[in-house]
Amino acid sequence: VESTIDSETDVPIGGLLVAVLVVSADPYLRGLIRSNNAFKPNDIISGFVAGKVLKANQVDKWVEGDLFGGTLPFSTHQVLSTESVAKIWKLSEFIDESDISAGIGILGMPGATAFGGLCDVLRPEPGETIFISAAAGAVGGLVASIAKTVYGLYVIGSCGGEDKVKLLQSSGHFDEVIDYKKFTTAAELANALRAAAPKGVDMYFENVGGIHFEAALAVLNDHGRVAVCGQISEYNQAQPKPFSLHALPLIYKSQRIEGFISSSWISGKIGQGKWIKDLHLWYKEGKISKQETVTEGIENWPFAFISLFEGANIGKVVVRV
């Protein structure tokens, strides 16, 4: 494959020829894959990938063999212009090629998301309680492990089904695990949260939407925070439902609801790259680990993607090219 574009003239000055080694299937792409939206039939979908530099034509800081993460078209080989090069981040200083899937996981978007949402948006205080929804997912599982191993928080997770509950319980990262499939109303889920959180909930890492948000707000303590990261229960809806938000409790309980996206951390705009250094350190120390559901072959990407919404995946969904 490489040989078809393997000549000096094909890579512009300041550009890179790269091979994509793994591509990610992430819930947020559902917002772009809609009949009325960004991607059209035969478009090449773009998303998070990790790969290796095959050729560098006078590019500052990049050489052949470097590993990278980035948002790129899902193509096995591609030439990056100077503009695109500015948007990828280097992985070589942290991992070798055998660990490349970390570039779309703990050292990629899910890592930046978990770090940003927990460390910078929620800002845990010692002894606090955190509730994490979609806790068996790539982001939720990482948040839980950091919450437990780095901050020592009281951690409550929700997930769907007995198998996932058992898996989370055995991870050692959770004090309580709630199977949300047992509940159909926010009031029921709130009761389960009250039972699981003897001191109430100080922080809610919101991945799901629907009854999760309203249940979490119902049990949120004074000075509680909600980091709004995802709404996976709503992505397949034609019209996502708005929440009912009562403003008065927000005031007299001094609570905060904050949306965020990983690009603020990946770009270095927030934290100047601290996220990847800290995550790599915690990875080396064994405080966090890769949790992956791997699919082989880029042609199988659609099945990996659909699995996200069927709750079939555990941890990061990785497609090996």
240 binds its own copies (CB under 8 A): yes
253 binds its own copies (CB under 8 A): yes
120 binds its own copies (CB under 8 A): no
Least gap, CB of 315 to its own copies (angstroms): 21
Q: Half-sphere exposure of residue 84, counting CA atoms within 13 Å on the CB side?
A: 18
Please list the residues that pair with 292 across neighbouring strands: 316
Least gap, CB of 145 to its own copies (angstroms): 22
- Answer for which of 184, 236, 254, 300 binds its own copies (CB under 8 A) is 254
- Radius of gyration of the chain from Cα atoms? 20
**3-class DSSP assignment, residue 97:** helix
**3-class DSSP assignment, residue 221:** strand
Please list the residues that pair with 158 across neighbouring strands: 178
198 binds its own copies (CB under 8 A): no
| Residue 135 or 229 with smaller CB distance to its own copies | 229
The token duo for 180 is: 């949300």
| Residue 31 or 198 with smaller CB distance to its own copies | 31
Q: Contact letters (x/-) for its own copies, 142-181, by CB under 8 A?
A: ----------------------------------------
Least gap, CB of 104 to its own copies (angstroms): 20
244 binds its own copies (CB under 8 A): yes
The token duo for 98 is: 């055998």
Burial class, 272, CB count within 10 angstroms (exposed 0-12 / middle 13-18 / buried 19+): exposed
| Residue 41 or 242 with smaller CB distance to its own copies | 242
Q: What are phi and psi of 187, to 5 degrees?
A: -65, -40
| Residue 1 or 247 with smaller CB distance to its own copies | 247
Q: Give the Cα separation of 250 and 98 in Å (integer).
A: 47
219 binds its own copies (CB under 8 A): no
* Residue bearing tokens 């020592």: 152
SS3 sequence, 70-86? EEEECCCEEEECHHHHC
Least gap, CB of 31 to its own copies (angstroms): 8
Q: Contact letters (x/-) for its own copies, 40-79, by CB under 8 A?
A: ----------------------------------------
| Residue 101 or 231 with smaller CB distance to its own copies | 231
33 binds its own copies (CB under 8 A): no
Residue 296 burial (CB count, 10 A): 11
Q: What are phi and psi of 192, to 5 degrees?
A: -65, -40
206 binds its own copies (CB under 8 A): yes
Least gap, CB of 307 to its own copies (angstroms): 22
264 binds its own copies (CB under 8 A): yes
Which of 22, 21, 95, 103 shows the shortest CA–CA distance to 54? 21
The DSSP result for 254-319, as a single string, is T-EEEE--THHHHTSTTGGGHHHHHHHHHHHTTSS---EEEEESGGGHHHHHHHHHTT---BEEEE
- Answer for which of 129, 231, 295, 313 binds its own copies (CB under 8 A) is 231
Q: Give the Cα separation of 186 and 201 in Å (integer).
A: 15
Site size toward its own copies (CB under 8 A) is: 31
Part in contact with its own copies (CB under 8 A); list of ranges 18-26, 39-47, 252-260, 274-282: 252-260
| Residue 120 or 179 with smaller CB distance to its own copies | 120
Q: Which residues bind its own copies (CB under 8 A)?
A: 31, 206, 209, 213, 228-231, 234, 240, 242-261, 264
